Amino acid sequence: MRLRGLWQIVGSWLFIFTYGIFASVLMVLTLGLASRWLSPLILRFWGRTMLRLAGVTYEVQGAEHVQADSMKIVPFNHGSLLDAFVVTAMMPSGAVAALKREAIYYPVLGQAVLLLGLLLIDRGSGVRARRTMKRAGARMAKERLSVFIAPEGTRGLTGELLPFKRGALHLALASHAPIVPMLIDGAFDLHPPGQVTSTPGHLVIRFLPPRPTTSLTATSLAAETESLRALFVTELARMRAERLASTSA
């Protein structure tokens, strides 16, 4: 392993554990009273620092669609470990990330996840998962939260978009919040599954205009999920074509 790769691993884990402890203590001291703006601030610093340690730069397009402090659902494509850093680096005030419930069992990180108020979801497809989404939607509406969520549920192994689960749309059904698609291009190439460290490089993050969900019903849930995935497929293909054209110019 090259020296840079070793530094990335050691530096990243040192930062994760020390910052996780700091963030946990800070949330305890503030009694969670300022969590709506403090939690995104803490997460933004964490995500941007992790990207710097990985040698990854990025540009953001359509940021105006996500910056307003209002309730929204932000689904993003998930093909790389880098996505966690990208998503947290983008978080506006009043935003949380939806994580698999198993994250609370990670040492130090689990405690930070709980104290930062991140949204914990069950990734299954049964009654328990739907009940979890219903509770999440109620919390979202009560606290006027923006929720970042990966509709694929997990990372793919090939870079291709996996089928979308209905969790994001269940949140929309419960809250009637608009959906702001977030597309990440280039992360899979820099850190695919199975790779230990990230390859330094550049990402493009694109937010699309909000999609209203006021007319969404339980009956139209499946069709809207497929429509959202089709939009991601089309837009990601466009972004990759633009990237290839720019590198060959």
Alpha carbon distance 151, 107 (integer Å): 26
Concatenate the DSSP letters of all residues of 100-167 into one string. EGGGGGSTTHHHHHHHTTPEEE--SSSHHHHHHHHHHHHHHHHHT-EEEE-TT-S--SSSSPPPPPSH
Return the structure tokens found at 219. Answer: 């009956």
Structure tokens given for 40: 């995104």
On whether the pTM is more than 0.85, the answer is yes
Predicted confidence pLDDT, tens digits, the chain (249 residues): 577 777 888 888 899 889 888 888 888 888 776 677 888 999 999 999 999 999 999 999 999 999 888 899 999 999 999 999 999 999 998 898 888 777 777 766 677 777 788 887 776 556 666 677 777 778 888 888 899 999 998 888 888 999 999 888 988 888 889 999 999 999 999 999 888 899 999 999 999 999 999 899 989 999 999 999 999 999 999 999 998 888 776
User: Alpha-carbon distance 2 to 18, whole Å?
Assistant: 25
97 - beta bridge partners? 148
Q: How far is CA 226 from CA 152, 169, 213, 220, in A?
A: 12, 10, 14, 10
